[in-house]
């Protein structure tokens, strides 16, 4: 685990980030998009970089079968305390079988994994564990230089059949989402 990431979340706990201000707008808008693009419950969702489980608990409440993966021990513990099936792990090497989820959320790891090869590893793992025809929701931070390359790199595009960008969160926060469908 990168000590800089641990130190960052010690300074800035994720617990309340989405509860007020721009974070609240980000959460409501993200939930709106997720309701539109995810297959209906009880679909299996893997929330990679799910932090303390804000989206995972909400999705579980809607009837989804959700597992959360995050490398920060405090995040995993907080998610478990909220009743989420949460495990320690890394987006670049998921301990999940091929094609075992209907949807994968990757809304967080790409903020931290800024090197192209790291991003490709994370996106490749998401494409591996989602079933053919499933959905991958990718989030990047607009303030990371070259963030758009996460969606335009030819090697990334080879992993997906279609990419639908949702830039509407820019302005409320730096969160940009792309909805990807792997080839069937
Ligand atoms: C800003 S939070 C986003 C949380 C939530 N998914 C959301 O959209 O609000 C980023 C999360 O990514 C996690 N993360 C960082 N590096 C990761 C990696 N290599 N693999 C998986 N998760 C990672 C962090 O621990 C943190 O919980």
Angle between helices 21-37 and 54-61 (to 10 degrees): 40
The candidate with the shortest Cα–Cα distance to 128, out of 69, 66, 68, 183, is 183
- Is pTM beyond 0.85? Reply is yes
Q: 182 in ligand 1 pocket by Cβ < 6 Å?
A: no
What percentage of the chain has pLDDT greater than the value 90? 43
- Going from N- to C-terminal start, the domains of the chain cover 3-181
Per cent of the chain over pLDDT 70 is: 76
Q: Is the CB of 96 under 6 A from ligand 1?
A: no
Cβ of 79 less than 6 Å from ligand 1: no
- State in Å: Cα 11 to ligand 1 middle: 15
Query: Domain 3-181: what homologous superfamily?
Result: Vaccinia Virus protein VP39 (3.40.50.150)
pLDDT tens-place string over residues 83-100: 999 999 999 999 999 999
Which residue reads 């030819």 in tokens?
154
Q: What is the pLDDT of residues 120-153, one digit of tens each?
A: 899 889 989 999 889 888 887 655 555 556 556 6
| Residues in the chain where the model's pLDDT stays below 50 | 168-173
State if residue 111 touches ligand 1 by the CB under 6 angstroms criterion. yes
pLDDT at position 83, please? 97
Ligand 1 atom 16 nearest Cα: 109
How many residues comprise the chain? 184
Q: Which residues contact 65 (CB under 8 A, 6 or more apart)?
A: 42, 43, 44, 45
Terminal-residue alpha carbon distance, the chain: 34
- Ligand 1 centroid, distance to 131 Cα (angstroms): 22
Q: Are 46 and 103 in contact (CB under 8 A)?
A: yes
């Amino acid at each position: 685990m990168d000590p800089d990431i641990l130190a960052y979340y010690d300074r800035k706990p994720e617990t309340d980030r989405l509860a007020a201000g721009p974070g609240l707008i980000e959460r409501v808008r993200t939930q709106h998009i997720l309701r539109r693009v995810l297959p209906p419950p009880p679909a299996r969702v893997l929330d990679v970089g799910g932090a303390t489980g804000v989206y995972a608990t909400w999705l579980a409440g809607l009837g989804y079968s959700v597992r959360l993966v995050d490398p920060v021990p405090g995040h995993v513990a907080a998610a478990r305390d909220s009743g989420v099936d949460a495990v320690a792990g890394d987006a670049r090497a998921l301990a999940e079988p091929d094609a075992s989820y209907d949807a994968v959320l990757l809304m967080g790891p790409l903020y931290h994994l800024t090197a192209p090869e790291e991003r490709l590893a994370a996106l490749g793992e998401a494409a591996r564990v989602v079933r053919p025809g499933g959905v991958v929701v990718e989030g990047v931070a607009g303030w990371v230089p070259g963030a758009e390359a996460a969606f335009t790199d030819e090697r990334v595009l080879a992993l997906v059949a279609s990419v639908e960008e949702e830039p509407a969160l820019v302005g409320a926060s730096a969160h940009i989402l792309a909805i990807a469908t792997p080839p069937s």
